[in-house]
Amino acid sequence: MDLPPIYHHTGLETSGGATRVARLLISGLKKQKVETNLSFELAEKADGAAILPEDFGRYLPDVALGHVHCTGNWSALLGSIAPGRKTIITMHDCDLFTGGCPYPLDCSNLDEGCAEPCPRKFPDSTGIRKAKFRQVRRLESTLVAPSRWLARLARTHLHRAVVVIPNGIPWPNRPLPKAAARQQLGINPAAKVVVFAAHGGMTAAYKSGDAWRGIWQQLKDRHPELLCFAVGGDKEERQGDLVIWPYVERRKLSLLMTAADVLLYPTKADNHSLVILEAMSQNLPVVSYAVGGVPEQITDGVTGMLVPPGDPAAFLDAATTLLANPVMIRQMGMEAFSAGQKRFSYQRMVSGYMQLYARTLDSQNQ
């Protein structure tokens, strides 16, 4: 398949789901001999270079196809692209059609055009939302969502067709045995191990980071032998059987998930979580609230356990039930691995985008 250079753009240089998806796509495209480039707005390394949103169009060659994953200023970035240039926009959250928030949750103002005053104090929410809509209409961009849930919301508010291409990650042929992973990490083979993981750790608002400690303490009362890892913050410490890790590189997180029994994921809002995919790829069942695109990833009672959003008692009961049943943990983990391997491999994601690029270019040439 002959494709022009694909220029990806994201907000952060190294972390975040949007950036990881962009980097995985670039890796897959390079294997297909497609020229690619990645630009970003916030450098997370001292020597990192970044471009402003309003400069993206200037750096986009005439022969290239632009693929935007996220930005701190949709209006400026899309406004920098010349009219008539076909652009792919992958929505990794709801920001493209809100007045500022990544996820509206239960905010009724969204259906009123982000009417002011904004309950979350975003300034000029109505004007910002309208400015984004103008740019999306002007460019006739091809819109993509990793989940059907987000696609439905985007169609409702942007009044545009949305293509669904689920996120994907590299899938191992077979996870490392749990005993071997625990030996590498120095974890007691007989322990019961749970993991919380989110970028930002206990400060991750949409992932209920502030509730992790309380959930852990209540589970510990029910399962005294429980060991807990809370991953993703900015510090490392141990408080008894609660181990706090900062953001760690992917290989170490995968090793921890292989060693664990359950991923606890009390997310308030989600599109198509890479953390859940990481768990599935390591035979790790997930307990989560059934929000956003999560039910498209987890089949309740088969590959994990879903509970009603905002019901902490149900979340605790589901986690307790699973931790008390090693056979169920093993079976759900195996089902999660198998189901995810078929549906969420990064090769399948790359193939989906390559087909979309080709269709977009065909429509441009007609």
The model's pLDDT over 27-69, given as tens digits with 9 standing for 90+, comes to: 999 999 999 999 999 876 655 568 999 999 999 998 899 999 9
Q: Which CATH superfamily is domain 178-343 in?
A: Glycogen Phosphorylase B; (3.40.50.2000)
Domains 6-168+346-365 and 178-343 share a fold: yes
Question: Region 201-219: what's the mean pLDDT?
Answer: 94
Question: Region 233-258: what's the mean pLDDT?
Answer: 93
Biggest CA-to-CA distance, the chain: 66
Closest CA to 12 of 72, 60, 63: 72
pTM over 0.85: yes
Closest CA to 293 of 130, 136, 107, 103: 103
Cis before residue 117, ω within 30 degrees of 0?
Answer: yes
The model's pLDDT over 24-37, given as tens digits with 9 standing for 90+, comes to: 999 999 999 999 99
Label residue 365 by pLDDT band (50, 70, 90): low
Label residue 363 by pLDDT band (50, 70, 90): confident
Q: What is the mean pLDDT of the chain?
A: 93
> Which CATH entry fits the domain spanning 6-168+346-365: 3.30.70.60, 3.40.50.2000, 2.120.10.30, 3.20.10.10?
3.40.50.2000
Task: For residues 289 and 278, give the distance between their C-alpha atoms in angstroms, rounded to a whole number.
Answer: 17
In the chain, where the domains are located? 6-168+346-365, 178-343
